[in-house]
Chains A and B, each alone.
Chain A
Amino acid sequence: IEIEEQYPLSPQQILLRDSKLRNTEYVYGVVIFTGHDTKVMQNAMKAPSKRSKIERKMDRIIYLLLSALVLISVIGSVFFGITTRDDLQDGRPKRWYLRPDDSTIYFKPTKAAISAILHFFTAMMLYGNFIPISLYISIEIVKLLQALFINQDIHMYHEETDTPAHARTSNLNEELGQVDTILTDKTGTLTCNSMEFIKCSIAGTAYGRGITEVERAMAKRKGSPLIADMASNTQGSQAAIKGFNFTDERVMNGNWVSQPHSGVIQMFLRLLAVCHTCIPEVDEESGTISYEAESPDEAAFVVAARELGFTFYQRTQTGVFLHELDPSSGKQVDRSYKLLHVLEFNSARKRMSVIVRNEEGKIFLFSKGADSVMFERLSSSDCAYREVTQDHINEYADAGLRTLVLAYRQLDEAEYANFDRKFTAAKNSVSADRDEMIEEAADLLERKLILLGATAVEFGHALRQFSVRSTGVGVSARRDARDLHLPPPSQSHSHSQTTST
């Protein structure tokens, strides 16, 4: 009997709007959740026309002038009617030079009311110059020139991304600079969305001689200029690589081969190069590889592995391809790993794992995650550098760095086959507790891990680039409750409001 293979359908397979499809040769199309009742259709509405304060003020002025025009015309017409009626008294003209006895409807004394009404329209046309319609044209020209100045502004040019200011429409030029308060829920949000690999701990040995911003600030406060000067000298010597601020001669340029724990270091770097969901992009002209990642720290890890000899250069649906530095021969060797399963990171699990099969047929589980969940999953037999690594992690946290613990395990065929059956069955189920079944199956496997080390990543702090004094913008941030292990506060600390257009 031929068993039909089943594929799980999960939110990963849903292509939302503006999604990009990569590494896929063909797809089966399934249409689900369409129509006007969906959230995306209900949110689709016509964008409101934006009008600036100057235009609204101009509208009010013109309405005022129009009212004055109508008032003047009405009063003038009333007096015109009265005097026109008085021009003929008992058949004898008063203002004889106007010939009221021989008159058209516009000036007829016997029908003064009609003459007054017609005079109203005449007055409206004669006094129409009160309304400055050309003012709109003048304002539009001024805004156009202002937009050209905005596009040419050097102070609004971003050096890093080579992006100048671009005013796409000149409607809201004068609304620039209206932000006076930025509200955030935690300080971590105010970053540049970039992270730098700066330190790591492998097999109980700390690597990385960089100085973090927090350490530099504390050194300045204590009054020891030696550390600050050393950091500035070191940074100036080498070319800056985005996401990589690591300096240690013991492991760079292939020197990790001669370290005492070179096997652990090799596995550490291999884990960094394999355990991620990045997609490489090779530049056609220069041949350099850049990485598209879901989070900036994943990109920092892959860049660090590349700089230390493990270059991740290709990904397919089922495989990951590296250039590895072979310790025995000292050369770059091409290696591929068959990607069997990916256990994704989420806020509950706080860890991410991949299950791969190397070219020799061995199956490995590579895992990285927070130390609070990773240390309890380590194998109890291997305790050589566990406490030293914990000390390193505490030091990194004090220096303002974010840390991850790296561990791995080798699986045998029977164990993997059992996991594969359970995991696939959980994924294919459509019951309400599907997520719990998936997590339970993954939890059985992420046990008895072998500790490799920890990584330390520094945020690129955007607050440093804010010049709060010159811009006058206030920043109000509520500290994250989880950072302090405190219950969430009953009231919000933010009282100011943000003006927005």
Chain B
Amino acid sequence: MPPVNSDGAGPSSGEDGSAAAVKKRNRPKYHRFTQQELQACKPILIPQTVILVLVFVGLIFIPIGLACIAASNKVVELVDRYDTKCVPRNMLRNKVAFIQNSSIDKTCTRVFKVPKDMKKPIYIYYQLDKFYQNHRRYVKSLNDMQLRNPKKVADTQYCSPEATANGRPIVPCGLIAWSLFNDTYSFTRGHGNETLRVNKDGISWKSERNRRFGKNVYPKNFQNGTLIGGGQLNPSKPLSEQEDLIVWMRIAALPTFRKLYGRIDMDLQAGDRVEVTMQNNYNSYSFNGKKSLVLSTAGWLGGKNAFLGRAYAIVGLACFLLALLLALLYFVFPMREEHLSLHYTPARLVR
């Protein structure tokens, strides 16, 4: 016989059921958003769909990669490392003494052989290795207000130790300007009979010439300290026209970098002999760095760089291989019917 009273039963209300039908004030109103019944896209990944998507991605990526590689291969690039070869043979063991001795002639002559036709414009770069322009002390050592505003000449707050010289502020101040690159290059074609003019206009960014460097700010007291780090500046030209300085003060993110020196607005033919007369002034021997001169043309993707093309090609090839692998697995282990149906096994009622 079942028990008469259920154990632990709380108070029970014997209220009329008809009265409850009237008040439905607390019932939530129906809306498709609040009931989370809006339309939604829920893709089901079946082998056919996945294989097709992978093949499609491969078909798109491989042509892009090949086009990028071809564009990079069209670029003609000549690189010449000259820091060791421009040191006299008797001072090879003491290069620092050579570069720091101002009485020694630093002139050096290098020869380029042009392997293929180079269409104008031909860009001239200098390349430095193991030069850490991204060091925190180096990066912080400048004052943007001083570069921009002639009234802020005395703002040398972050420029130490190159903030003042002989008690007067340096314009432009800081380690970056102080260590300005000062090698120079001049070019002739043939055997000294034709000079290739180097165009140095517009080698810096237009936004930096217009906004970052002031038109009325002139170099003052520059390289007047006990130590001279780099090149001199023309005191009669404003900073916005000193494009070598502007190029140098766009800080490189990595220790190996190239910076634009100028342009040659003439075509070079295959087999041409280009003779470079350079002034080897910059000290790269203390920190065991390298100096190189680069002549390069430019394609629609920029300079000679195959990384992007190779990345696209590799990803496309990987997609093709994955599609092939999935197709083989699909044929070797075909899917059964229960894999495709979505149902759940109900829990058994244990008694």
Cα distance A159–B19 in the bound complex, in angstroms = 13
Chain A residue nearest in CB terms to B6: A188
- Chain A residues contacting B27 (CB-CB under 8 Å) are 154, 157, 159, 162, 164
Chain B 221-245 against A: per-residue CB contact (8 Å), 1 yes, 0 no?
A: 0000001010000000000000000
Q: Which residues of B1-27 have CB atoms within 8 Å of chain A's CB atoms?
A: 1-7, 9-20, 23-27
* A482 (CB) vs chain B CBs: closest residue: B3
Q: Are the C-beta atoms of A242 and B16 separated by less than 8 Å? A: yes
- CB pair B5–A297 under 8 Å, yes or no, is yes
- Judged by a CB distance under 8 angstroms, whether A358 is at the interface is no
A290 at the interface (CB under 8 A from B): yes
Beta-carbon contact of B6 and A189 below 8 Å:
yes
Q: Is the CB of A303 within 8 A of B14?
A: yes
Contacts of B344 on A, CB cut-off 8 Å? 472
B167 CB-CB contact with A under 8 Å: no
- Rounded to whole Å, the gap between the CB of B308 and the closest CB of chain A is 28
Q: How far is the CA of A376 from the CA of B1 in the complex (A)?
A: 16
Encode A309-334 as 1/0 by CB contact (under 8 A) with B: 00000000000000000000000000
Q: How far is the CA of A240 from the CA of B11 in the complex (A)?
A: 21
Is B72 on the interface with A (CB-CB < 8 A)?
A: no
Q: Is the CB of A296 within 8 A of B28?
A: no
CB B44 to nearest CB in A, in angstroms, measures 22
1/0 per residue B136-166: CB within 8 Å of A?
Answer: 1110000000000000000000001110000
CA distance A239 to B229 in the complex (A): 103
Q: Is the CB of B4 within 8 A of A369?
A: yes
Tell me, rounded to whole Å, the shortest Cβ–Cβ distance linking B252 to chain A. Answer: 12
Q: Which of B11, B14, B137, B288 contacts A242 (CB 8 A)?
A: B14
Contact residues, B275-294 vs A (CB, 8 A):
283, 286-288
Number of A residues whose C-beta is below 8 Å from B? Answer: 82
Tell me whether A288 and B2 are in contact (CB under 8 A).
Answer: no
Cβ–Cβ < 8 Å partners of B26 in chain A: 157, 162-164
A122 to B136, CA, bound (A): 11
Kindly specify which of B29-37, B110-118, B296-304, B323-331 makes contact with the partner chain: B29-37
Structural contact, A162 and B347, CB atoms closer than 8 A = no
B229 and A164: CB pair below 8 A? no
Q: Is A205 located at the chain interface by the 8 A CB criterion? A: no
Asked whether any CB of chain A lies closer than 8 Å to the CB of B179, the reply is yes
A370 in the interface, Cβ–Cβ < 8 Å? yes
Q: Is B175 an interface residue (CB 8 A)?
A: yes
Complex alpha-carbon distance, A152 and B288, angstroms: 71
Within 8 A of B (CB), among A439-474: 468-470, 472-474
Known: A96-B287, A162-B27, A370-B1. A468 touches B9 (CB 8 A): no
Q: B192 within 8 Å of A by Cβ? A: no
CB-based contact A302/B14 at 8 Å: yes
Q: Which residues of A285-314 have CB atoms within 8 Å of chain B's CB atoms?
A: 286, 288, 290-300, 302-303
Contact A295 B5, beta carbon cutoff 8 Å:
yes
Of the candidates B9, B17, B36, the one whose C-beta lies within 8 Å of that of A241 is B17
Shortest beta-carbon distance from A25 to chain B in Å:
23
Number of interface residues of B (CB under 8 A): 56
Given contacts A149-B36, A239-B18, contact A97 B138 (CB under 8 A): yes
Let me know if B125 is at the binding interface, CB within 8 A. no
Binds B, one of A87-95, A135-143, A414-422: A87-95
Q: Is A412 an interface residue (CB 8 A)?
A: no
B17 touches A472 (CB 8 A): no
**Which of A99-107, A217-225, A227-235 binds B?**
A99-107
Q: Who on chain B is nearest to A474 by CB?
A: B347
Question: Residue B349 at the A interface, CB < 8 A?
Answer: yes
- Residue B135 CB within 8 A of the other chain: yes
Q: A174 an interface residue at 8 Å Cβ cutoff?
A: no
Contacts of A295 in B (CB 8 A): 5-6, 9, 12
User: With the chains together, A78 CA to B268 CA distance in Å?
Assistant: 50
Q: In the assembled complex, which residues on chain B have CB atoms less than 8 Å from the CB atom of A103?
A: 137, 161
Q: For residue B349, which residue of chain A has the nearest CB?
A: A475
**What A residues does B229 contact at CB under 8 A?**
96-97
Query: With A and B bound together, what is the CA distance between A469 and B12 in angstroms?
Result: 30
Most buried by A among B2, B12, B349, B351: B12
The answer to whether B35 and A152 have CB atoms under 8 Å apart is yes
Q: Kindly provide the distance from the CB of A145 to the nearest chain B CB, expressed in whole angstroms.
A: 11
- Flag whether B346 is at the interface (Cβ < 8 A): yes
Can you sample 26 A-B contacts with CB below 8 Å?
A92-B286, A93-B286, A97-B131, A97-B178, A97-B179, A104-B160, A152-B31, A164-B27, A181-B347, A188-B3, A189-B7, A193-B6, A193-B9, A239-B17, A241-B16, A288-B16, A290-B15, A292-B11, A297-B4, A347-B3, A402-B2, A474-B347, A474-B350, A475-B349, A482-B1, A493-B350
* Chain A contacts to B: CB under 8 angstroms: 92-99, 102-104, 106-107, 122, 149, 151-154, 157, 159-164, 180-181, 187-189, 191, 193-195, 239-243, 286, 288, 290-300, 302-303, 345, 347, 350, 369-372, 397, 402-404, 468-470, 472-477, 479-480, 482-483, 493-494, 496
Given contacts A95-B135, A239-B18, 18 further A-B contacts (CB under 8 A): A92-B286, A157-B28, A159-B24, A162-B23, A181-B347, A187-B351, A194-B12, A290-B16, A291-B14, A293-B12, A299-B12, A300-B14, A303-B14, A370-B1, A468-B349, A477-B350, A483-B1, A483-B2
| B contacts, CB < 8 Å to A | 1-7, 9-20, 23-28, 30-31, 34-36, 96, 131-132, 135-138, 160-162, 175, 178-179, 227, 229, 283, 286-288, 344, 346-351
